[in-house]
A and B are shown apart, each in its own frame.
Chain A
Amino acid sequence: MAGTAQTMQGLGGGRQATAAPSSPYAIELKGISKSFGPVQANRDINIAVPRGTIHGIIGENGAGKSTLMSILYGFYKADAGEIFVGGRPTPIPDSQSAIRAGIGMVFQHFKLVQNFTVLENVILGAEDGPLLKSSLGRARRELEALSQEYELDVHPDALIEDLSVGHQQRVEILKALYRQAEILILDEPTGVLTPEEADHLFRILRGLRDQGKTVILITHKLREIMETTDNVSVMRRGTMVATVKTAETSPEALAELMVGRKVLLEVEKKPATPGRVVLEVEGLTVRTDGVERLKGVSFQIRAGEILGIAGVAGNGQSELLAALGGIASAGGRIAMNGVDLPLKGHHSNGQTRRAAGISHVPEDRQALGLIMDFTAWENVAFGYHNAPEYQKNALLMDNAALRADTEKKMKTFDVRPPIPGLAAKSFSGGNQQKIVVAREIERNPDLLLVGQPTRGVDIGAIEFIHKQIVALRDAGKAVLLVSVELDEIMSLSDRILVMFDGKIMGERDPGATDERELGMMMAGMTEAAKLGKDA
């Protein structure tokens, strides 16, 4: 291992990557301020990140985390303040200077060439000369060494498009390490990962820390902060409100710092009082590209209960939602309020599902739930644009009524800013989700399908959305909740079904199970789970 590290240093060559060990801090920011027009994104930020630690930065969406990191990586120029790298004042006018200063960045949305190999992506922009042969050979040796050292497990010749999201992220980390990064910044790295992939990532990050690298982790997930970081800084509305040792704080305390008020992390709800059967599903199957993704799923949902579907992403939950929501054609039988619904053909679509009393908050709000270029009021009509209250006459839509309705919904659901004419893409993730949830819940459906209701949503909004879902249940409606966040499933559901490989592995009572048991079922181990329960 030591040998590899030395090789890396040797290969560092002409670059001045390693900092003078005089300062105990890898990075210090002093008095950083930045405003965009009237909006002050960062206000007098001071932060010192000790060398060889994992430092978390949390804050709600729009708190200024990403702006701060963009300043650190040279995308924005701060209006005031200084950056010190390894104790030395280091101006960072562009990302090249950031790389030279030993700063590497892993973005939320990867910057990889899909049809290049891992190796080609890693050397892209860091080639030795016009001919690739020598750089490729050198990069291959180094990549293999890095890959082994940090348990990255990426094959240099694999094409990016063939890799899972988790692996692609590791390629981004490799890119940074190959450029001699001493300080690695990760922006919301687990938003796209499964729990296992996230755990693997955190193992990698700890490994990097143990080798003396400094990791800055930007996230809004408290659990990740508590599990992985050494210190944590909290941002709120552009200011740094606190920096504390992770061991000396609690999720509740951090949440309060982030939001500025007490936040309920646990969902408060009364016991369910299930009524009649609302949705009946029998032997539901879905094929995509010739592969059976949903392999005969049967269950029932009653009025006044939340049925949670747990599972690792990609085990048929998306297909289940698509089939129920009329997006994908399916086999089997579904009945809503005792009436069979078509599962294929042109009568099986989102319109007929909505008419049958099914509302759908899709998993991917940006690709499915919203038209990002449309205004908020146009999006409030999305899927319900044929509703009679939005029509002026047989020919024309009533845009004014629609705007008024949107204004009302924005008020009820606390969408910020409450401007109906603003494009959906201009809202933060949490507020986008509130628009979708408002649209679907305010229809007062008999059955609400919800996929990943709080993915990429900040804590304040999570609390709000959870409350709305529970309120709908308490009003005697049925809810089908699909989420990869076990916490969310455990705290919201009245019954839990675990899916694995397109099948239901079993049903559990959230009060009588734990994450460990569900985790094993999610990995396909029913017998083990049963044994564990019996024992």
Chain B
Amino acid sequence: MDKLPRWADVVLVPLICLIIAFVICGVLIWGIGQDPADALKIMVQGSLGSTYAWGYTLYYATNFMFTGLAVSIAFQASLFNIGGEGQATLGGLGVALSCLLIPWPHWTLALIGSIAASALFGAAWALIPAWLQARRGSHIVITTMMFNFISFALMNYVLVNMLRPLGSMDPASARFPAAVNLPKLGDILGLVGIPFSSKNPANISLLIALAAAVGVWALMWHTRLGYELRAFGKSEKAAVYAGISPVRITLYALALSGGLSGMMAINAVQGEAHRLLLNSVEGAGFIGIAVALMGRNHPFGIVLASILFGFLYEGGSQLALGTSIPREVITVLQALVILFTGALPYMVQKPLEHLFALRRRTA
């Protein structure tokens, strides 16, 4: 009946939501006595104005792709994994152990090792709450959240008491050997003749994240496991009728989700910091929830939403550097984007439906 065409539902609605969020934020900036147009210009230039700036935006976007995909996989199975933060923290530990303990001869091997270690550590960390829910009925929203705090404390202990180099005052691991440093995105693009700055943290992990997005897409819509995950997510009762085990699906979904969250560390720990820091995740686990929401749980949408949030994140830093607008305003903008794209699309959908119906009638 009065349904929106698919393109309007997928593209137009989020776009309008985004514009509303920006307008409100503009009013806010104007209210504290700054020029919104100026602020927008600084944001856009600072995050998209040069390949150097793009590098930062894409670096953050890479983090969000991993965590967004992670949230979306669990979400397809109707499981709300808000432990991305903790799983990514543990993934960082995996990467650090792999890079520090194994003398990798070449970065390619080190990368494979890191992928395995980060996914394994993240998955294992997610499996504990998954098992508790599947077997003991403890709700995953509570347990994954609590496991975030446990992971922070664990990281503190491990860094201070075990990984800290002798004599260092920093709660951080030793630097990784240079052999495990990942190639920069600028270097890779240079190989195919695209000029791109390499003085930024964007690295090969972006390609891994994009591959992960394709992988998640194939998994969800072209494999039996993905089929079972989605069926379970739509109706647990029906899944049981079909012989799909809720325990198995809960474990698999959370393991995959945790593994993807953990893989974020390849980008942040091995790709950027070259050592394990106390807070290497920097909230990307939570932003992943917003990214998954905005990306409508579809890998392609998540890639786009990640780039948007990368832009917001990097643009926000530039705003804080270049103007006297407090950094918090950007947090407000991010919150508004989440609010409008995640929670309020119906507000836009209804009037749009009327508009389309009207156009159809006159046509």
The residues of A with any CB-CB pair to B shorter than 8 Å are 36-37, 325-327, 346, 349-354, 360, 362, 367-374, 378, 381-383, 385-386, 391, 395-397, 399
Asked if A350 and B240 sit within 8 Å, CB to CB, the answer is: yes
Q: Which secondary structure characterizes the binding site on chain A?
A: loop
- Say how far A54's CB is from chain B's closest CB, in angstroms: 32
Q: Quick check: A370 and B238 within 8 Å, CB to CB?
A: yes
* CB–CB B223/A397 < 8 A: yes
Q: Which residues of A contact B222 (CB under 8 A)?
A: 396-397, 399
Minimum Cβ distance to chain A for residue B264 (Å): 25
Q: Which residues of B contact A (CB under 8 A)?
A: 1, 218, 221-224, 227-228, 230-231, 234-235, 237-238, 240-245, 247
Bound: A378/B226 CA distance, A: 12
- Which partner residue on chain B sits nearest A368 by CB separation? B241
Contact B223 A372 (CB under 8 A): no
A-B contact count (CB 8 A): 68
Structural contact, B241 and A371, CB atoms closer than 8 A: no
Chain A residue with the shortest CB-CB distance to B247: A346
Contacts of A371 in B (CB 8 A): 230-231, 234-235, 238
Closest Cβ of chain A to B93, distance in Å, is 30
Contacts of A399 in B (CB 8 A): 221-222
22 A-B residue pairings within 8 Å (CB atoms): A37-B1, A325-B241, A327-B240, A349-B240, A349-B245, A350-B240, A350-B242, A350-B244, A351-B243, A351-B244, A360-B241, A367-B237, A369-B238, A369-B241, A372-B234, A374-B230, A374-B231, A374-B234, A383-B242, A386-B224, A395-B223, A399-B221
What residue in chain B is nearest A353 (Cβ atoms)? B243
**Are B218 and A396 within 8 A (Cβ)?**
yes
Nearest B residue (CB) for A386? B224
Nearest CB of chain B from residue A295's CB, rounded to whole Å: 23
How distant is the Cα of A371 from the Cα of B235 in the complex, in angstroms?
Answer: 7
A396 touches B223 (CB 8 A): yes
Residues on the A chain within 8 Å of B245, using CB: 346, 349
A349 touches B1 (CB 8 A): no
User: How far is A346 from B244 in the complex, measured between Cα atoms in Å?
Assistant: 10
Q: Report yes or no: A327 in contact with B223, Cβ–Cβ below 8 A.
A: no
List B contacts of A326 (CB < 8 A): 243
Contacts of B242 in A (CB 8 A): 350-351, 382-383, 385
Q: Looking across the interface, which residue of chain A has its beta carbon closest to that of B239?
A: A371
Bound complex: CA of A396 vs CA of B241, how far in Å?
23
Query: Whose C-beta in chain A lies nearest to the C-beta of B241?
Result: A368
Return chain A residues, CB-CB under 8 Å to B223.
Answer: 395-397
Among A367, A369, A397, which residue has its beta carbon within 8 angstroms of that of B224?
A397
Please name the residue on chain B nearest to A364 by beta carbon.
B237
Alpha-carbon distance A169/B237, docked complex (angstroms) = 26
Give Cα A374–Cα B231 distance, bound, in whole angstroms: 8
Q: Contacts A381-B227, A396-B218, A396-B222: A367 and B238 contacting too (C-beta < 8 A)?
A: yes
Contact B241 A378 (CB under 8 A): no
How far does the Cβ of B75 sit from chain A's closest Cβ, in whole Å?
A: 14
Complex contacts, B218 vs chain A, CB 8 Å:
396
Q: How far is the CB of B353 from chain A (nearest CB, A)?
A: 13
Inter-subunit contact B1/A352 (CB<8 Å): no
Knowing that A350-B243, A350-B244, A396-B222 are A-B contacts, what are 10 other residue pairs whose CB atoms are under 8 Å apart, sorted by A's residue number? A37-B1, A325-B241, A350-B242, A353-B243, A367-B238, A368-B237, A385-B228, A386-B224, A397-B222, A399-B222
Whether B237 pairs with A385 at a CB distance below 8 angstroms is no
State the CA gap A295–B235 with chains docked (Å).
Answer: 29
Report the bound CA distance from A381 to B231 in whole Å.
Answer: 11
A354 to B243, CA, bound (A): 9
- Write the nearest CB–CB distance from A381 to chain B, whole angstroms: 7
Flag if B235 contacts A367 (CB, 8 Å).
yes
B216 to nearest A CB, angstroms? 14
Minimum C-beta distance from A4 to chain B (A): 44
Chain A CB within 10 Å, residue with most, of B228, B231, B240, B243 = B243
Interchain CB contact under 8 A, B243 and A378: no
Name the residue on A nearest B235 (C-beta). Answer: A371
CA A169 – CA B247 in complex, angstroms? 37
The distance from the CB of B71 to the nearest CB of chain A, in whole angstroms, is 20
Residue ID in chain A nearest B226 by CB atoms: A397
In the complex, the answer to whether B241 meets A36 with C-beta atoms within 8 Å is no
Residues of A within 8 A of B241 (CB): 325, 327, 350, 360, 362, 368-369, 383
Bound Cα distance from A415 to B237, whole angstroms = 25
**In-complex Cβ contact of A368 among B224, B234, B238 (8 A):** B238
